[in-house]
Structure 1
Amino acid sequence: MLKVNQISKTIKGKVILNNISLDLKQGEIYGFVGRNGSGKTMLFRALSGLMKIDSGDIIYNNYKLHHDVTVFPNLGITIENAGLYPEFTGFKNLQLLAKLNRKIGDQEIKIAIKRVGLDPDDVRTFRKYSLGMKQRIVLAQAIMEKPELILLDEPTNSLDEEGVKLIRQVIREEQERGAMVLLASHNKEDIKLLADQVYYLDSGRLVDEVYSHAK
């Protein structure tokens, strides 16, 4: 269970998040839509602990963010380039990240890389990856430890049609495993096909629940 209670954030006098509240359940996919600058990415940064909020509470499985923990346990998130080292291969990058939590070994890393359609033995460095490959390896790092809470910001961006289908399948598999997935996407088909419930943001405010349906 993820509870977001009236969170707000202002940066340089501009309201970025405005009194947002959510009550989200495990095993569901939640879509977040809105124009550029609507607050989707900032909301995800707040939920992940990458950005401190000015007021309100964020609680997941009885852990209060920035009170009990600085980052929620069992969290997976896609952010641009994910702090990956350009001079290392995708596998080496994920290997280094995995050592932080020491939850998984090389075999689990290779499985995650294969799931997103990449070769774990590819000797190319991250610097030489195409945009689509970078998108895939970032998703691999988000799911490799089988997190309970997954935040995906534009996960199918820069992917071809085949890649989009594969990543959608991976997201469905994560839901079937029991993960809660929060998905921000400009791709209307991503939202239509994947989300159980959809929220609309505008100027940092949660202004509407677009639709809700059972799968």
Structure 2
Amino acid sequence: MMSLIELRNVSKSFKGLSLFENLSVSFEKGKIYGIVGHNGSGKSVLFKMMCGFVFPDQGSVIVNGEELGKNKRFPENFGIIIDKPGYLGDKTGFENLRYLADIQNKISDEKIKEILEKVGLSHTIMQKVKNYSLGMKQKLAIAQAIMEDQEILLLDEPFNGLDVDSVENIRDLLKSLNNQGKTIFLTSHNNEDIDILCDHVFRVRNYSLEQLK
């Protein structure tokens, strides 16, 4: 079976620091993958290479059989949370998602409202995003990553800032999306998130990925 995402002999330095050297790894469709490692080990850079935000110094990244940077810069059908997503602070959460949805014009207002409710944000809230708590901003980030039914999710610390009930809700949501066939990659400093959700776990170590599970 063809790999969904494959990194071939990838080397990457970032801000003068070598993160990956001659890394080769492949990922299958329909799994949940956990990527663990200490801060600064390269987890976010790995995600950025997988979705075309940055390119490797050497080697290639292949998504659905196409090498990124050849005929295609950004792969299709990716939902992404990397670093801290930026939003229009003087707009509501719904208005921000509506602006983003207008880019591809795939989904209706009703779909956006439905997704907001799923992540635990009421679509009727008129509070501006600049006044959102950290947890509310995180829920908004998750909403934008899944609202267009994206097939591949790259979620860097998706549980950051969430309370206990919200963590349970988002875990259940990710399990449901995986059951629908979505492929999910996530990082988390909480081992419980990784243990509960992930089919396979890789640790960034010695400039490569070491499979733990």
Sort the TM-score into its range (normalised by shorter chain). over 0.9
Percent identical pairs in the alignment equals 39
Corresponding residue for 2:212? 210
Conserved 8 A contact 2:31-2:184: yes
Unaligned runs of at least 5 residues, structure 2:
none
Alignment match, 2:56: 53
TM-aligned CA deviation for residue 202 of structure 1: 2.6
Query: How far did 1:12 drift?
Result: 4.0
Runs of 4 or more, structure 1, over 6 Å off, are none
Q: How many residues align?
A: 210
Unaligned runs of 5+ in 1: none
Q: After superposition, where does 1:1-12 map in structure 2 within 5 Å?
A: 1-12=4-15
Tell me, yes or no, if the aligned pair for 2:62 and 2:68 is still in contact at 8 Å: yes
Which of 163, 167, 170 is the matching residue for 2:170? Answer: 167
**Pair 12,37 (structure 1): closer, same or farther in 2 beyond 3 Å:** closer
Change (3 A) 1:122 1:204: farther
Supply the distance in 1 between the matched residues of 2:18 and 2:85 (Cα, whole angstroms).
Answer: 26
CA-to-partner distance for each residue in 1:24-55, whole Å, 9 max, x for gaps? 11110000111111111111111121112211
- Residue 64 (structure 2) pairs with residue 84 (structure 1): no
- Is the CA contact 1:31–1:198 (under 8 Å) kept in the aligned structure 2? yes
- Structure 1 residues 125 and 26, CA gap change in structure 2 (3 angstroms): same
Q: TM-score, normalised by structure 2?
A: 0.94
Q: CA RMSD in A?
A: 1.3
Contact 1:39/1:202 (CA < 8 Å) preserved in 2?
no
Aligned mate of 2:196, from 186, 193, 197:
193
1:8-47 alignment to 2 at 5 Å? Answer: 8-47=11-50
Contact 1:81/1:134 (8 A) holds in 2: no
